[in-house]
Amino acid sequence: MSRKTKPGRALVFAALGDETRLSLVARLSGGRPHSIARLTEGSAVSRQAITKHLHVLESAGLVRSVRVGRESLYEFDPEPIEDLKGYLDRVSLQWDDALSRLKSFVEEQPRDQVSL
């Protein structure tokens, strides 16, 4: 996938919304590229299914494939995860600010005006 066309956050979240794909990301995040055969080892998931999951992860920019001879090796790309972390940190700050304003508003109201 070209770095010029950066996938949207929703695509990354969707790709991570599957247990098998999360497991693949965890295995690949160790820093070493793996073949499909190696990623299938010890799994009840078929090579074809692993391949489909890897293509979803690749479309989301989370993994990239490198051809070595006749084999494709897949490696983790942390950039989309770092982007999501930054986005979620900003959303968290926005919510903290909104909740702080709400707390201040409620605390400023006379007790007899606050109805539950």
Q: How many domains does the chain have?
A: 1
H/E element holding 34? strand 34-35
In a domain, 40, yes or no: yes
In a domain, 3, yes or no: no
Sheet holding 34-35, edge to edge: 34-35, 71-76, 63-68
Domain span at residue 32 reads 9-77
**pTM of this structure:** 0.76
35 and 71 Cβ atoms separated by less than 8 Å: yes
What are the pLDDT digits (tens) for 36-75?
Answer: 999 998 888 999 999 999 999 999 999 999 998 889 999 9
CATH code for position 35: 1.10.10.10
The strand pair at 63-68 and 34-35 is best described as unpaired
In the numeric block, the tokens 């820093």 are attached to 31
Please state the separation of Cα 33 from the chain's center in Å. 18
In angstroms, the CA 113 to CA 69 distance is: 74
Instruction: Indicate the pLDDT class of residue 31, thresholds 50, 70 and 90.
Output: confident
